[in-house]
Amino acid sequence: MFDSVLSSQPQRSQVVARHLVSFPPGYEPGTIYVQFSRARLYYVLSNGRAISYPIATPKGEARWSGETRVSAKKVNPGWTPTAEMRRENPDLPAYVPGGHPQNPLGVRALYLGKSLYRIHGTDAPWSVGQSVSHGCIRMFNQDVADLYQRVPIGTRVVVTW
């Protein structure tokens, strides 16, 4: 779908920083396009341009795709791990408050539809560029803060592999 955006897929060990890219015509400005196969999130601007952000992607069993909308936005969101996460790692706390340095949601979160998925920051910047999440889309904290201020509630989000 986005083959013309980047000429080659970056290696996961070589995370390419946020930058402006040419974007195929016909995509609605203000839309977020996520391409997990490239570990990139694109925020579409006008005139065939987009901001390309590096992301961490879901690991195998957590892969998903589809279309949704930003349903809520939070600054310094608190985090409650799911029961499945706590089964995988019994040492996880029941809750981590927003603003805590070990909060895996980082400094901002964009909630996606009625799901538990979010576009959010991270307390583990080394994970960006890797397939490690339980379905969420992780970004560097400075990148999610940049995206957060650009995106209103109701923004369309399209996720592909």
Catalytically active residues, by annotation: 120, 136
The burial of 133, by beta-carbon neighbours within 10 Å (0-12 exposed, 13-18 middle, 19 or more buried), is given as buried
Q: Residues with Cβ < 8 Å from 30, sequence gap 6 or more?
A: 43, 44, 151, 155, 156
Nearest-angstrom CA–CA distance, 21 and 60? 28
| Rg from Cα positions in the chain | 15
Strand pairing class (156-160; 32-35): parallel
Residues 59 and 133 sit within 8 Å (Cβ to Cβ): yes
Nearest-angstrom CA–CA distance, 141 and 56? 12
Question: Which single residue is written with the structure tokens 């799911």?
Answer: 82
